[in-house]
Chains A and B, each alone.
Chain A
């Protein structure tokens, strides 16, 4: 298999390119994705290569984009649409939550719509309130949707291909802070993907199955669970804490990987869950509840959550908002106290 060094933009672009090549039913549209190639360049070159009937711009209408994609999906196409920022997905919320998510069930299995909604999410780019949010839990609460949150060039491509091939609708979150490099929690350090092992990406089609977590590193004393950009911040925090940890990158939030999580907690007896989104009703709450249901007698100490605060996402003070290595490391250390 021919490999190439790619950043996340390039690997996502490669996934889309492979799917356009391999499946005539795949069609891509959204705001600025056509001629311009996307404000983050994710669809760069695809219109030129595949034609403007397969990769095209739309009116600025997230509700219209979702509804049109939904209709195309009902009639046999496999639309992959971009919502330019996850913060802007809410005009499409009704179409996603009440329509896309439910049509298979409401029609007794007669109709379905295999739409993939790609959307850049998360903070760390000085985006303030409306270019920084991480609204995954507003979709994990909706039966019928699969929810993916990639974290590296390699898993971004493999997960996106699986999402597009899925016959269920998928909301696919991309951590925009990690598009061009991993993020270890230091805003002044801007590493690229070039030296990272996860930047070695096959040029051809491959899948990472939805529902499988990635065990980033293995340890004995604590299980750290995260997704998106925070996975890399957790790596740094684990190193800083000096505690031997399993680090689980969930990759798919719905359905999440029960086996990997349960096996790890049974081994370590301690758990820290980390996400950027606010704490209250965040997906970390779901994880904590599920873990205590399944692993209560293996837990040695209370489960810790390190999350964004229950406030809007700020502009100039974003580094005080986002979970950083020191908060995460402190939580890991706290789980070690008897």
Chain B
């Protein structure tokens, strides 16, 4: 037997910074205006190589918008986006407080990633399908979901539309074409291709949007999605949200290349990397991808470059595996602050107005919370009736479930 070198030769990567170290990201070389906008309907996927290797930005570090990707939104649209983002942040804070006081079992915030689902959903048409992961609840605000209903779901109380069956944040909102969230990461990505192909089959002007994390992109579902989308020319928008962290696993463990967007190119998909904290760039890139899909020119693979400012979930403690202030060093800054500063630069907004907005929404969230707990909270109930365990397992309850149901209810 050959001698053993027990020091080992497997290359194991590491995160760039660990607790106790000073995080320091290189300033981004990419500036607004760097990248041209090709024709979404007719360009070849090879024409997007620079977009995949660069970074689409619209807002600069001083809150000015520029370049071909500036979507030219009205101040009403910008203010609406800002309000949705502020609402999501305040909503998340309230839900975390509920979790910490035992009124919810678990929670996941979108902190630092609020722009993504909100800007992207605003860029879609209302008939488009949303197939989210757990970090895109903000899309529901855009689609008009009532906060009381969302809180009731998170509690799992009598008014939870999914009847206490899934953990908090696993929303389902059919009215908003927002498809039920599942815990196994990444599964929705290839399913979304199927949703979009059903729209093709039916000849409808519908596009499907979906998201996956950098970590989950190591699952097979991600690769299935790119291949099926390419082979069947699916009208789908495939977003990979690279927020650097999958619980404690850094994106360096998800790819050996340091980049995700360019993975779409060898599949033959238009591929773009976008600043995920830049509301305008997100809106614009999504609008572009929607136009391309609706024109029958196929899917777009988008890397949304961002940073997970919060913990993975209420069960996670990121101070164990990354510097506590790492998010303050992120070159993309904070998405809410950036849109706010842009509106102030435009003369459409002020710090006083922003403060008033936060106070108004905080009041609305508290009102919604008070209304929701009237239907029960986790600590005290009431909960959905126990027989909801047996309903909707099948369309009709088979005899063996009927027997078990009767046993439980009678016993």
Contact = CB atoms under 8 A, between A and B. Distances in A.
A32 interface: yes
B381 to A, nearest CB: 8
Contact of B321 (A35, A51, A53, A129): A35
B315 A39 contact: yes
B216 interface: yes
A290 interface: no
Contacts of A64: 218
Contacts of B310: none
B389 A54 contact: no
A91 B219 contact: yes
Given A129-B165, A315-B166, A317-B389, A60 B215 contact: yes
Contacts of B216: 60
A57 interface: yes
A24 to B, nearest CB: 5
Interface in B325-363: none
Contacts of B384: 316-317
B7 interface: yes
Contacts of B64: none
A32 B10 CA distance: 18
B393 A316 contact: no
A317 B389 CA distance: 8
A314 B164 contact: yes
B166 A51 contact: no
Contacts of B15: 35
Contacts of B14: 35, 52
Contacts of B18: 35
Interface string A301-331: 0000000011110111100110000010010
Given A59-B253, A60-B219, A315 B404 contact: no
Contacts of B8: 51, 53-54
B105 interface: yes
B386 A39 contact: no
Nearest to A84: B247
Interface string B237-252: 0000000001111000
Interface string B251-280: 001100000000000000000000000000
A87 interface: yes
A57 B253 contact: yes
A312 B315 CA distance: 23
Contacts of A91: 184, 219-221
Given A310-B400, A314-B389, A131 B219 contact: no
A61 B218 contact: yes
A279 interface: yes
Interface string B291-326: 000000000000000000000000110001100000
A56 B7 CA distance: 14
Contacts of A56: 10, 12
> Chain A interface mostly helix, strand, loop or mixed?
loop
B254 A59 contact: yes
A32 B183 contact: no
B157 interface: yes
Contacts of A330: 411
Interface string A40-65: 00000000000111101111111110
Contact of A32 (B167, B248, B388): B248
A129 B15 CA distance: 32
A88 interface: yes
A54 B170 CA distance: 36
B202 interface: no
A315 B156 contact: yes
Given A32-B248, A35-B18, A126-B106, A53 B12 contact: yes
B390 interface: yes
Contact of B167 (A39, A62, A90, A131): A131
Given A53-B8, A320-B408, A31 B247 contact: yes
B217 to A, nearest CB: 8
Contact of A87 (B184, B215, B386, B400): B184
A89 B141 CA distance: 34
Given A32-B249, A131-B183, A320 B389 contact: yes
Given A126-B106, A315-B167, A330-B411, A60 B12 contact: no
A309 B389 contact: yes
**Which bucket holds chain A's interface residue count?**
35 or more
Contacts of A35: 14-15, 18, 248, 321
Interface in B110-146: none
A311 B411 contact: no
B253 A126 contact: no
B35 interface: no
A315 B254 contact: no
B404 A279 contact: yes
B6 interface: yes
A128 interface: yes
A57 B164 contact: no
A181 B18 CA distance: 32
A202 interface: no
A36 B155 CA distance: 29
A87 B185 CA distance: 11
B227 to A, nearest CB: 16
A280 interface: yes
A128 to B, nearest CB: 4
Contacts of B10: 53, 56
B311 to A, nearest CB: 12
Interface in B352-398: 378, 383-384, 386, 388-390, 393
B368 to A, nearest CB: 19
B408 A309 contact: yes
Interface in A124-168: 126-131
A273 B304 CA distance: 51
13 contacts: A35-B15, A36-B248, A36-B321, A39-B315, A51-B7, A52-B14, A53-B9, A53-B12, A59-B249, A59-B254, A130-B167, A130-B183, A130-B184
Given A31-B249, A91-B219, 15 more contacts: A32-B247, A32-B249, A36-B321, A54-B8, A57-B249, A60-B186, A60-B219, A126-B105, A128-B170, A311-B401, A315-B105, A315-B167, A316-B156, A317-B384, A317-B388
Interface of B: 4, 6-10, 12, 14-15, 18, 105-106, 155-157, 160, 164-167, 170, 182-186, 215-216, 218-221, 246-249, 253-254, 315-316, 320-321, 378, 383-384, 386, 388-390, 393, 400-401, 404, 408, 411
What 10 pairs across the A-B complex have the smallest Cβ distances? A53-B8, A316-B164, A59-B218, A130-B183, A36-B248, A316-B156, A126-B105, A320-B386, A128-B167, A61-B218
